[in-house]
């Protein structure tokens, strides 16, 4: 997998994000800041949809090509219990079925799916459980 940024995903399976725990306060953040003040930690794979919105207009190019290639998508804040709230794309569900509190699990999607070596970004999808 070619992630959009280094040290975003753990190198092993199952897929996990790498957050950072502040060595003094214990506060967890995502992504993990570089430097000695933070200890990298693997974040949980499941959480709940805390809030969301829909991106309804075409972003600037690059990486997007032509207005015909754009389709609206959901972006949300996903609360990973006891850890942190992560901002990511929400996939695998019709936009009109999104609900705050729904159970989600981590996945990765291509930011630029038509590229020879697509860059992967974190996303969350329904995990089959009810809120």
Quick check: is 97 in a domain? Answer: yes
Give CA–CA dist 46/131, Å, rounded: 12
Q: Give residue-wise pLDDT tens across range 41-58.
A: 999 999 999 999 999 887
* Residue with the two structure tokens 């996903």: 78
Domain membership of residue 72 (yes or no) is yes
Classify residue 11: in a domain, yes or no. no
Decide if 62 is inside a domain: yes
Q: Which among 128, 127, 72, 77 is positioned nearest to 96, based on CA atoms?
A: 72
Residue-range definition of the domain harbouring residue 63: 45-126
Domain count, the chain: 1
Q: What is the mean pLDDT of residues 16-38?
A: 95
Least confident of 63-67, 82-86, 124-128: 63-67
- Across the range 1-14, mean pLDDT stands at 85
CA distance 54 to 30: 22
Confidence of residue 1 (pLDDT cuts 50, 70, 90): low
């Amino acid at each position: 997998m070619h992630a959009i940024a280094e040290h975003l995903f753990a190198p092993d399976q199952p897929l996990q994000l790498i957050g950072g725990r502040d060595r003094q306060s214990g506060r967890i953040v995502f992504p993990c800041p570089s430097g000695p003040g933070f200890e990298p930690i693997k974040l949980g794979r499941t959480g709940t949809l805390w809030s969301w919105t829909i991106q309804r207009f075409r972003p600037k190019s690059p990486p997007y090509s032509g207005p015909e290639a754009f389709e609206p998508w959901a972006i949300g804040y996903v609360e990973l219990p006891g850890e942190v709230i992560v901002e990511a794309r929400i996939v695998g569900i019709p936009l009109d079925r999104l609900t705050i509190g729904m159970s989600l699990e981590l996945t990765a999607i291509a930011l630029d799916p038509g590229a020879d070596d697509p860059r992967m970004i974190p996303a969350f999808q329904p995990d089959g459980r009810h809120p």
